[in-house]
Amino acid sequence: MSVKTVINEMSKEQQKEKESLNLYYSTQTVIQEALNKLGYNNEMYELLKEPIRLLTVRIPVRMDDGTVKVFTGYRSQHNDAVGPTKGGVRFHPDVDEAEVKALSIWMSLKCGITNLPYGGGKGGIICDPRNMSFRELERLSRGYVRAISQIVGPTKDIPAPDVYTNSQIMAWMMDEYSRLREFDSPGFITGKPLVLGGSHGRETATARGVTICINEAVKKIGKELHGARVVIQGFGNAGSYLAKFMHDAGAKVVAVSDVYGGIYDPNGLDINYLLDRRDSFGTFSKLFNNTISNKELLELDCDILVPAAISNQITEENAANIKASIVVEAANGPTTLEATKILTERGILLVPDILASAGGVTVSYFEWVQNNQGYYWTEEEVMEKLEKVMVSSFDNIYQLAETHQVDMRLAAYMVGIKKVAEASRFRGWV
């Protein structure tokens, strides 16, 4: 490897670390502003600005070629004053400590917004599942559970799927935890297959929640979803299901993308064709000759823009070029604080990630409840309950933003952090 290659690789790693730290620090900035608006003192901020617990683990895995590879994993628990912590586990090469800590804080906010009896948790393993076999993934999943088993459980911290993890991985994790505890424990983890205690509607829950937020946002600005032009960045779990739901609702999905690029048709895309042709990681763009970049996609003329991929996509450099009248964040942290200010000043309605993507944790809560009581609901019941939670949460945040004359992101933080702060205050922690 040449010196130049080494330097380039180092700069990439440094850039990833910088982005994660920026995400973490910007989260703390908005939390401090929200607590100040609510009248809490600096002691409360000192308690809530960081997770109460962060576990770093090293997981040895026997690979298919006989070698042993050691993976690094994390589990962050932000605050358990309200109840057990809750949050997904992601398998991704860009996972790092700052990102996991920030995401656990966001989970606390999501649970506060939706009034769930949880604090926020998050986990991750630095790996690339796209380059791993089925059996290697199983060994890694089981090894992670063994490594974090002392701080997780149905009444401590409940994991769930996240980026590049799915119901099969949740099943392996549940089985490993049940072996360790020597009793069946479906409530330890959510996002499981239906036959192992999963809930109807869990796989599509995040996209359903985003869809509900889009419906409410469209009503607020006096428009209709039918015929609206929609652009979606990202075609993973959330993005692909959302494209399907938008298409079925009569909206015109004019552009979608994956990590390699996107496709655009002002007359609307054949979403069912794309769903059939994508691979398990949501990749489809390599099937097409004429593609656009993700940067170009964000600046397309449309009514509704949904960043559903990665963080820091709408920044102060391109915020002035966004042409949508509604931006709904399905990804984690796709819009920087500087860009949020620019979009708000331009009159664009921004629905923040901690509200828009709260459908996943809401249905995870439903799954946990069903596991605990041993009684399972129909998909219609789950969707009805989800609709009530998301509409109520949206209206609450929208009204608070109007009352305090702040953007919806700050309003969402104010709603989300208040429950954790009050629980901490009543417990006598601050």
**Under DSSP, is residue 306 helix (H, G, I), strand (E, B) or coil?**
strand
Through-space distance between the first and last CA atoms of the chain, rounded to whole angstroms: 53
Cβ atoms of 352 and 42 closer than 8 Å: no
Can 122 be counted among the known catalytic residues?
yes
226: its two tokens: 């039918």
Q: Can you state the angle between helices 97-113 and 359-373, rounded to 10 degrees?
A: 70
**Token pair for 237:** 């779990």
Given its phi and psi angles, is residue 158 left (phi above 0), alpha (psi -120 to 50 degrees) or beta? beta
Which has the closest alpha carbon to 17: 98, 130, 102?
A: 98
Contact criterion met (CB below 8 Å) for 59 and 74: no
The single residue of 86, 101, 110, 122 carrying the catalytic annotation is 122
| Phi–psi pair at 370, nearest 5 degrees | -65, -40
- Name, in order, each residue with C-beta under 8 angstroms of 275's C-beta and a sequence gap of 6 or more: 240, 243, 244
Separation CA 332–CA 420 (nearest Å): 20
The single residue listed with the structure tokens 């999905």 is 253
Residues in the chain: 430
CA distances from 364 to 91, 181, 239 (A): 19, 22, 19
Angle of helix 97-113 relative to helix 408-426, nearest 10 degrees, comes to 90
- Using the structure block, give the residue that is written with the tokens 């428009």: 223
180: Cα within 13 Å, side-chain hemisphere: 18
Structure tokens at 358: 């709260």
Distance CA 35, CA 182 (A): 43
Query: Which are the catalytic amino acids?
Result: 122
